[in-house]
Amino acid sequence: MTLILILALVTGAILFGVGVYGALSQTNLVMIMMGVELILAGALVNLVAFWRFLHPESYSGQMFALVVMTVMAVEMAVGFGVAIARFRARGSVEMEEAGDLKG
């Protein structure tokens, strides 16, 4: 049982680390959003692993995981909407060129 928990936590940590690197090292909006999704996926894997290990009879962990997955889907929909609007207006989704979005 603990080996499965350790594997799940290591997998979640790897996803989280790759997501942080991807979100901080990229300048393209789509790649930054993919990094944020990996961060949320890593946190979700850890959440489900801890829920399964600590409270396997409770369904609250499953409901929270579904809420997190819904937030991930909404975040991607809004982010891609912003990216498409930015590309149509300026022809680029590079964040270095997005200074006009301030204020």
Let me know if residue 29 belongs to a domain.
Answer: yes
Q: Mind listing the pLDDT tens digit for each residue in 13-41? A: 999 999 999 999 998 989 999 999 999 99
Largest Cα–Cα distance of the chain, in whole Å? Answer: 53
Q: Mind listing the pLDDT tens digit for each residue in 46-59? A: 999 999 898 888 88
What's the number of CA atoms in the CB half-sphere (13 Å) around residue 54?
9
Contact 29, 86 (CB under 8 A): yes
The SS3 of residue 58 is coil
CATH number, position 26:
1.10.287.3510
Residue 37 and residue 41: Cα distance in Å, rounded? 6
29-54 helix and 60-90 helix, angle to the nearest 10 degrees: 180
Count of structural domains within the chain: 1
Domain extent, residue 32, equals 2-97
The pTM of this model reads 0.86
Let me know if residue 77 belongs to a domain.
Answer: yes
